[in-house]
Structure formats: C-alpha cells, structure tokens
Amino acid sequence: MTGPYYLPYARIDWQEAGTPAAPAYQDIYWSTGQGLFEKQHVFIDGNDLPARFEVLGRSHFTLCEIGFGFGLNSLLTANAFSQHAGDGAILNYIAFENAPVSPADLTRALSSLTLPTGIDRHAFERHRQCLQDAWPMPSPGYHCRWIDERICLTLILGDVNEALPELDAEVDAWFLDGFSPRANPEAWQTRLFGAMAERSRGGATAS
C-alpha cells in the first residue's frame, strides 16, 4: 500500500524457521522459534499481569505498548486477561507503531507460532483471527478495534514522540518493545520518557 496518505509497510526479511527481521533497523523481531516465549517472560510475567488482572473486579486496566510489531504482546495480554480478569473488567490496550507490517506478513508470522504452556489455545486463535480481520490500512492516526467484547485495541500509527504527548490516558503498565536504542535511536528520546511518566497511574510498571 502506497500513497501520500499512507505509511509505508515495514520491509520484512524472513530468516531461519520463519523469524522476521527488519533490515531498516538491522534487528530481529524475536529470536528463532521463541517469539511468544520471550514476550511472555519479559512483558506478561515481567509486569505481573495475571495476578493484577485477578484483582481488577469490575474495573478497567490500561496498557500502552511502544512498538506493536506483529501484535504478539497484544495476543498474550488478551489471553491472560481472558483467563484471569473478572467478567466486568475491561482492557484498554493502546499501541504505537511507526512501521506497520503488511497484512500478508502479519498472517505469515501469526500462523507459525508455537504457544507456551498455560495459553488458552481456543481464545488465542479467536483473538489472532480478530486481529488479522481488523488489521487497519496504514494511515497515520488512531485505529480502534474490539478484538473481544472486553478488550479494546487502539493502534496509533505514526511517530510515538509526536503522538504520545497527545494521548489522554492513565496507564497501568508499559511495554517498551520497539527496536533497541542502538538500532532505533530516534524513537527513544528523553521527551518520550517524560510523556510516559505524565501518563502513568500510581503503581504503574514497565518492561
């Protein structure tokens, strides 16, 4: 998809065992065969999300991710929320991405995943299909999608340093999953962390 009103799709190089790499940043999205395992350990367990979802009650939880990529963190978070949060709870999942992947690359990546133990496979497949079906055109700005009756994904396409200061939210947990500062120094600027602090609820975590 090209045109003056669209962001260019990320160029993906597919490596061994279907591992996606981003030549623009000379970096990989995850290690070979370990995508969900890495992200479960670093982001889901790193923010103690299952335990925090258990005590939500009839409330909402706001999570913000910098670097949406192929959406693996969103699928794992949705799975944990479905398993552990009460019926009245709502998950607001906000994510920033400046180089969205194409629908074809998204489908290819999500169709070759090995699920960690403890994952509700039925729910994971349902959320995966919803994400693929709801994948937006790469136009800059906000794209709101319900991937479950209790889970709202707001995907914000564009430069996070420009978009985050405009965000009206109180965030409970942050996922910093963009490419490393060495590979993508433009994204990790001092003002980004200031904007994060201003939008963090008391007790917010980050990984």
Question: Is residue 30 in some structural domain?
Answer: yes
Residue 102 inside a domain? The answer is yes
Q: Say if 4 falls within a structural domain.
A: no
pTM for this model (two decimals): 0.93
Identify whether 173 is part of a domain. yes
Mean pLDDT of 13-40: 83
Going by their DSSP bridges, the two strands 200-206 and 171-176 should be labelled as parallel
The neighbour count for residue 49, using CB atoms within 10 Å, is 24
Higher-scoring residue by pLDDT: 3, 197: 197
In this predicted structure, what is the pLDDT of residue 177?
82
- Predicted confidence (pLDDT) at residue 146 exceeds the cutoff of 90: yes
pLDDT mean over 43-59: 96
The answer as to whether 50 is a domain residue is: yes
Beta strand extents in the chain (DSSP E only)? 13-14, 20-22, 27-28, 60-66, 90-97, 141-148, 151-157, 171-176, 200-206
Decide if pLDDT at 175 tops 70. Answer: yes
CATH of the domain at 199: 3.40.50.150
Condensed to tens digits (0 to 9), the pLDDT of residues 74-102 reads 999 999 999 999 999 999 999 999 999 99
Q: Give the whole-number percent of the chain exceeding pLDDT 70.
A: 92
How far apart CA 134 and CA 61 sit, in angstroms, is 22
pLDDT at 196 over 90: yes
Q: Which residue has the tokens 């995907």?
A: 155
Confidence of residue 47 (pLDDT cuts 50, 70, 90): very high
Answer whether residue 2 is part of any domain: no
What is the domain count for the chain? Answer: 1
Beta bridge partners of 154: 94, 144
Average pLDDT over residues 177-187: 64
Q: Which domain holds residue 108?
A: 13-206
Q: Are 124 and 75 in contact (CB under 8 A)?
A: yes
**pLDDT for res 16:** 76
Residue 97 located in a structural domain = yes
Whether 176 maps to a domain, the answer reads yes
Q: Is residue 119 packed enough to be buried (19+ CB in 10 Å), middle (13-18) or exposed (0-12)?
A: middle
